[in-house]
Structures are given as structure tokens and as C-alpha cells.
A and B are shown apart, each in its own frame.
Chain A
Amino acid sequence: MNRASPELTPAPAQPPAPDAVTVTVTDAGIIAASRDEPERFAELFDRHAARIHRYVARRLGRDAAGDIVAETFLVAFGKRDRYDPAVAGARPWLFGIATNLIGQHRRDEVRRYRLQLALPAEPVEESPADRVAAGVSAQAVRRPLAEAVGALSPGDRDVLLLIAWEQFSYDEVAAALGIPVGTVRSRLNRARSRVRAALGGSDPTSPHDLPLEEHSRWMT
């Protein structure tokens, strides 16, 4: 599989590669079983819902996430007979459905990024200690970053965030969004170059390594 970026460690969002744990039924197995026992589809929910919820919450806010997660699984449930049993893991499929639903809230999403630009963060601020740690540089660029993400075309944003936040491979993104792998690459390239540009240059590397005054100059 094409990993989107070799330096990213793929976070196992999700259970266990099916063949790694013998007792675990694959997603495809659950979906097949749910034809005769519809309520077994809830097992798929239990595996994936929390992660999808978080992804949606990051894009649209927590209030919207609950509804979209519910819709995602209802849509998936309704389409389960069309699921390709050869695809063991259903994560791309589910995220693709969720992405479509997110797309119906584009205005709200863009507004949310804009609001992030303009406004102090909600009370869930990191502690100073956290900020000193790895978060510092990200915190420093959060505003231009949010703006850049908000200004992306929706399709580019879908690709970028699945890769950056969910560590999807190119193949998984292609499957999730129903687009060719080549399109995934071109969208990702475009999105990343825009984000880099927004971060102030071709190489946004390590702003936190710079001295403070240098850092603030970089910021602006």
C-alpha cells in the first residue's frame, strides 16, 4: 500500500488487522452476518464510531458529530448489501460516507475554521506544560493552518485531512472518496502546497527550533 508519508506512523485506528487476531471477525464478516441478523451491524459501530466521531468533531464541532455519526451508520446499514465482501476492513467505506455527510455542512465547516482564526480557543486549552512540549510549534501555526485548511477546496480538504488526521493510505483515501489514486496524489499535492504557502514559505519546518524573536517573525 502506498503510505501517504513515510514519516507518519500509521495509528491503528482500529482493531487489529483481522488476520492478526484469530477470534476477531473481519468488518466484512460482520457486514455479511448482519444481512440475516441486522443488529450485528452494531458491532461495526462499536469498532469504528468513536474514531469517526472524533474526526467529524475536529471538522465540524462536537455538536454536529453525534448526528453525523448516527447518519453515517444508518447510511452504511442501508447500503450493507452492496459492500464488497473482499474488502476486509470497512474503515475507508465508513469514513467515505461520513465525508459525504460532512460535505453537506461545508458552510458550517468553513465558518468554523474562520472562527478559529478569529477567536480565543475554547476552555479546553492545553496546559502550559503541554504547550512547551510538542504542541508548541503547532500552536504557533494553528491560526494560519486553520485558515489554510478552511480555504482549501472541499475535495482537497477531504484528502488532506483523511491523510493527516486518520493516517489513511493513498489507496484507502481513493476507496473512501471513490476517486482514482492519481487524483488522491494530485489533490494532496495541491493541498499541501497551499498549506505550506500559508505557513509562510516552502519549508515550514520546525518553527519551534528558532529563537523566539525569529519565531515571531516567522509567525507573521
Chain B
Amino acid sequence: MAAVITEALPRSRLAAWFYGHRATEHGPIRLGHRRVYIVPTRVGMMFAATLLIMLVGSINYVLSLGFMLTFLLSGLALAGMVHTVRNLARLVVVTGRAEPVFAGETAQFRLFLENPAPWVRPAIMLRHEASGAQLVTDVPASATAEVVLSVPAARRGWLALTRVRLETRYPLGLFRAWSIVQPDFRCLVYPRPDKAALPASSPDASYGTRQATTQGTDDFSSLRTYQLADSPRHVAWKAVARSDAMLTKQFTGDASAELWLDWTMLPVALDVEARLSRIAGWVLASEAEGLRYGLRLPGIILPPAHGDTHRAACLTALALYQA
């Protein structure tokens, strides 16, 4: 009979049904009773063995109160089972934000566990099945607990939070109830930045190019009134100290350049990932130096600019680059 069912249904679907695997879900995930599974733990098995010994003892010594005790403890185990399910069921899992990280770091998946019930839910474990990242938290009554799963980010691109197991053994530890969720939740992983020197600015340089412009950051030329968009780095603090007005230093000169971080200028020997890593390293270096930089990838051109938004746009382009 079982074999027939196995043949009739695709194996994966049967397994998915049996183990409660589901497709990625959007929005808040409510753990209904139907998706909470429960089995006895090893401690639960030992408890059952203890009860059996107590039952035999009660029969042998004709102990009415022994029967009563054994039956009360059996009832306790069954009530504990219901309470264990109750501790997990109808919890709501809501996804939060996951800030982008660089490959090699750990992605911080922020989840919220909403407890709609007026009772505390102690000792709920969350475990990221793929990486083994796990934590235990209590969810207060009618409140929300915030948890962060730290999942190692190995490769650039989107890192989806795959299956997360929520498990509890509260209150007696005789049963463990679990539920599997797979929220629609992903974290952007930038390429691992390479610590290479910035390309030279001469037009014939092999890596990237710096082009001379009238405005740069190398040589000081004059002061002008501070504008909100100006980097604090360029504020003429000494001058500000002397007068009341905020002043910004202006730079010009040959060395002050607009930098193009260009894919094609990298050695042919470098593979795609190495190139992306190199360019990501340049983005960070340029940003640190306060340069204006543009990005040129096959099919993608980001005009020179600087600032956090630009940096994020460049790194995102690198992270999602498809060869």
C-alpha cells in the first residue's frame, strides 16, 4: 500500500507533505496547528519506561494510589503534549530587514516572532537548517520577540533564507514540537572585496582610468560656502573655527580625477569572480579616499558619483552581475 502511494505521488511531493516542507511563503507566516508536528523525545521515552515500571509495581503490590499516581503522570504527559503544541502553534513569523554583507561575512536575518496569545511562550528554538545557525528565545505574552539568525554568506548575489525550523520542548521536555517555515526573505551579498591598489589615473594605465577634471579632491584651490551635500572631510575646520560660517575646501588640479572602474581594463587572466572582487575592492577604496568614481561593467554603466547610495548601487551591480 505504501509503495503504491509512493509511486502515485512524486517522491518529493510526498516527502514535502510528510515533513511539512513548503514553498517559500510571502508575508507573515502563521504557524497553524496543522503545520506543527510533535514526537516524543528520548526523555519522553524514558518517562514512558518509568511509568511502565510504576504500573507493574502498582499491580504487584496492589497499590491503588500507585495506580492513581501512574495514571496522573500519564495524564501529565498527555497534557504536556498539548501544552507543547500550544507553545508553538499560532506563533506568527514576520521577516525584518537583512542588511547587505560582503561574501565571507555572516548575513544577519532579522525575524520577528509575534505572539498573539495572552500567554508567554518560553524556550522557542529557531534553527537555520542549512547552516545550523540557531538560537533560543522566549516570546512574551501578546508581544513580539526579535531574533537575528546569523547565516554565513559564502557567495555574492542573493542569499535566500532557506528553511528555518522552529522547535520547542516546553513545558516538560517529554515531547518536541516543531514547524518548518521558509519565508520569502533574502539578503544581498556583495562580492568579497579584494585589497588591491587603486588604478593609476593616467589615460594609458591598464586598470581603470582617472580623468582629469576641473574639480577633484587632490589639490586645494579655494574655499566656498558649505552646502549640505558636502563631505565633512572637506569642511575647512580651521577656517570655520576662525569665522562663524561653514566653509568647504575646493580642490582642483591634474591629480584630482574622476575614476572609472572598468571591467575591460582588468587582465584577461582574471576570472569573473576575481574581477568582481577586485572592482568591489576599488569601490571601497575610492569611497574611502573620497573620489568620484564610475562603474563600467559589460552592459552596465554607472556614471561617476560618490556617497553611500552610489557605493551601494555599485556593489549591488557587482553582486548581481551575470556573466
Are A and B part of the same complex? no
B interface with A by C-beta (< 8 Å): none
